[in-house]
Amino acid sequence: MRTFGIGQVLALAFSPDGQLLAAAGRGGSSVQLIDTSTWEVLRTLEGHTDAVTSVAFGSDGQSLASGSADGTVRLWEVTSGAVRWTSVAAPGPVWSVAVSPTGAVVASGGAGSPGQIKLWAASTGEVVREVEAHPWSVACVAFHPHGDLLASGSWDQKVRLWSVPEGRIVHTLDGHVDHVVSVAFSPGGELVASASVDKTVRLWETATGRPLRTLRGHTAPVLAVTFSPDGTVLVSGGTDQMARLWTVPAGAAAGTLSGHVGWVNAVACHPRTDLVATASEDQSVRVWHLGSGSFVRSIFPRLNWVDRVRFDSEGAVLAARTREGKWFQWDVHTGRLVATPQDKRAAPSPVGVPGGSSPLGGVSRRWVPPSATSPDETWEAVGGADGTVEIRGAATRQVLHTLRGPPERVECVVISPDGTTIASGSWDGTIRLWDVRRRAERAVFAGHTDWVSGLAFSPDGSLLASASRDGVAKLWVVPEDRSI
């Protein structure tokens, strides 16, 4: 099995009252607002045209700033989901946004040489200050709790502290030996933490810029860092798939949060409880108890789900379409992404793969029985709400045989090019292969974490591609039929 993911979670932020968790990421261009009492998606903020890389709530919890790889910063009304304003921040991606403690200013940092910081009036979206902050891209920004300082981290390996009223450098924190990608102030503002591709987290004294501790433990680049609400614990996440806990100010290792199967891209502490959320390229957000390190639950924010998959005529390229109508293409043999929505090649021409089709999942959730017609057009397979797949005569529509699976609604069906196998995808995230001649289940594929919304056989029938609402396309090897 090979997995092709396009819903990686890149950014997290809790609202000031802790009632909402904002999650955003790659593959989709939306922000999901999650109700922390139920852990269900409450609202989706749509408008960006590329991956959302950073999110930050205003101090009143009624507004949310977002930065995107589309080069824009947006400010949203949390209650209605409406956009207050959109401003072009950079010719390239915006890597980070932050909102001042008063909520009056939004800061952004992004790609460029030199790297710029822009300060925006939250009321209008107009630029109030623009600073050439670093010679290279600005990867992260964070406001001091008092709002008078702004920290920035850059690919130039440095952290800088800026006077917000004057736009001048107060301190340059020099010590990292690779890109600085995350910065955070402690709740009281006395400390600054920075995370780097050099695999370390560093603690600095805000007043003097003096280095205090270098925290070593990650075995790969560190991507995110944040303080607990009481300032006694520091949480970091990295490409080693781990989140690590550190005591403050001693910097001693205090535990690990292990469970993700991809890079930990973002971390966020709940403002009023001991919960901490970690976000990963494995498509999930995990919630933990900070004190004990115990796992609470996983959330799959549905930043984008895949509703259709398709092979090219040679079976060498797999294309997957998101619910937004964006196509991605991968090399089947290497798993390498070869075309994106920005590439004109990413929208494939229809390919005449025998075996019928499956309905679009995610465009409308009014369920319609999925069906597929056999290559010789003499019979068809129809999925049922009760988990069955019926084989019917194409001309008469008479039920010839009923294949019975678990009582989970069938979302899509497809027939192999030689007409010997039916594949069905279900609400429970499983895929079943049915032997047409023996009228029996042949294999079960499990791996998706939400309903299967599309299926496609390769032209030679040896591979099966699946699409799902979990934001992942998977490629499965079809087992040989040993009954022949």
Mean pLDDT of 305-316: 72
Domain match, 168 and 99 both: yes
pLDDT of 374 > 80? The answer is yes
Closest of 269, 274, 281, 289 to residue 221, by C-alpha: 281
Mean pLDDT of 258-279: 92
* pLDDT interval class at 349 (50, 70, 90): very low
Is 136 inside a domain boundary?
Answer: yes
* pLDDT interval class at 397 (50, 70, 90): confident
Q: Which two tokens stand for residue 206?
A: 């805000």
| Main-chain phi, psi angles of 229, to 5 degrees | -60, -30
Is 483 inside a domain boundary?
Answer: no
Strand partners, 311: 318
Q: Amino acid letter at 38?
A: T
Q: Which two tokens stand for residue 351?
A: 């390919």
**Which range is least confidently modeled, 260-274, 304-318, 373-387?**
304-318
* pLDDT at position 9: 85
* pLDDT at position 5: 45
Is 86 inside a domain boundary?
Answer: yes
Give the largest Cα separation in the chain, rounded. Answer: 84
Mean of all residue pLDDT scores within the chain: 87
Pick from 254, 282, 299: which residue ends a domain? 299
**Of 112 and 363, more confident:** 112
Is 363 inside a domain boundary?
Answer: yes
Q: Which two tokens stand for residue 87?
A: 């401003």
pLDDT of 461 > 50? The answer is yes
Is 92 inside a domain boundary?
Answer: yes
Closest of 212, 286, 290 to residue 254, by C-alpha: 290
Q: What is the pLDDT of residues 4-34, one digit of tens each?
A: 444 678 899 999 999 999 999 875 678 999 9
Mean pLDDT of 464-475: 83
Strand partners, 351: none
* pLDDT at position 23: 92
Domain match, 291 and 317 both: no
pLDDT of 139 > 90? The answer is yes
* pLDDT interval class at 50 (50, 70, 90): confident
Domain match, 237 and 344 both: no
Pick from 242, 273, 299: which residue ends a domain? 299
* pLDDT interval class at 357 (50, 70, 90): very low
Closest of 18, 21, 25 to residue 263, by C-alpha: 25
In the block, residue with structure tokens 């465009």: 363
Domain match, 313 and 286 both: no
pLDDT of 167 > 70? The answer is yes
pLDDT of 308 > 90? The answer is no
Closest of 354, 315, 346, 345 to residue 333, by C-alpha: 315
Contacts of 282 (CB under 8 A, 6+ apart): 5, 8, 260, 261, 262
**Which range is least confidently modeled, 108-117, 166-175, 191-200, 350-359?**
350-359
In the block, residue with structure tokens 């679009």: 360
Is 484 inside a domain boundary?
Answer: no
* pLDDT at position 483: 42
CA dist 481 and 484 (Å) reads 6
Closest of 283, 351, 354 to residue 318, by C-alpha: 351
Domain match, 284 and 311 both: no
Domain match, 207 and 349 both: no
Exposure on the CB side of residue 51, measured as CA atoms within 13 A: 20
Domain match, 277 and 371 both: no
User: By three-state DSSP, how is residue 459 classified?
Assistant: coil
* pLDDT at position 484: 37
* pLDDT at position 353: 32
Domain match, 283 and 339 both: no
- The DSSP secondary structure of 128-151, one letter per residue, reads EEEEEEESS-EEEEEE-TTSSEEE
Mean pLDDT of 167-190: 97
Domain match, 312 and 294 both: no
Domain match, 334 and 293 both: no
Residue 277 sits at the vertex; the CA angle it makes with 92 and 341, to the nearest 5 degrees, is 35
**Length reported for the chain:** 484
* pLDDT interval class at 126 (50, 70, 90): very high
Residues above pLDDT 90, as percent of the chain? 64
**Contact predicate 255/242, CB 8 Å:** no
In the block, residue with structure tokens 């004294």: 205
Closest of 286, 54, 82, 46 to residue 183, by C-alpha: 54
Give CA separation, 48 vs 54, 121, 340, in Å: 12, 20, 16
Closest of 420, 432, 425 to residue 466, by C-alpha: 425
Closest of 44, 52, 85 to residue 69, by C-alpha: 52
Closest of 54, 62, 49, 185 to residue 122, by C-alpha: 62
* pLDDT interval class at 355 (50, 70, 90): very low
Domain that holds residue 405: 306-477
**Contact predicate 161/192, CB 8 Å:** yes
Q: How many domains does the chain have?
A: 2
Q: What is the pLDDT of residues 280-296, one digit of tens each?
A: 877 789 999 999 999 98
Mean pLDDT of 328-345: 64
pLDDT of 375 > 80? The answer is yes
Give CA separation, 95 vs 108, 182, 228, 277, 330, in Å: 8, 10, 23, 20, 26
Mean pLDDT of 148-158: 96
* pLDDT interval class at 400 (50, 70, 90): very high
- The DSSP secondary structure of 379-445, one letter per residue, reads EEEEE-TTSEEEEEETTT--EEEEEE--SS-EEEEEE-TTSSEEEEEETTSEEEEEETTTTEEEEEE
Pick from 299, 334, 354: which residue ends a domain? 299
Domain match, 23 and 123 both: yes
Is 214 inside a domain boundary?
Answer: yes
Q: What is the CATH number of the domain that holds 427?
A: 2.130.10.10
Is 54 inside a domain boundary?
Answer: yes
Max mean pLDDT range (81-95, 160-174, 298-312) = 160-174
* pLDDT at position 142: 98
Domain match, 186 and 75 both: yes
* pLDDT at position 340: 59
Q: Which two tokens stand for residue 237?
A: 């996440």
The pTM assigned to this predicted structure is 0.69
User: By three-state DSSP, how is residue 89 classified?
Assistant: coil
**Of 26 and 404, more confident:** 404
CA dist 56 and 106 (Å) reads 9
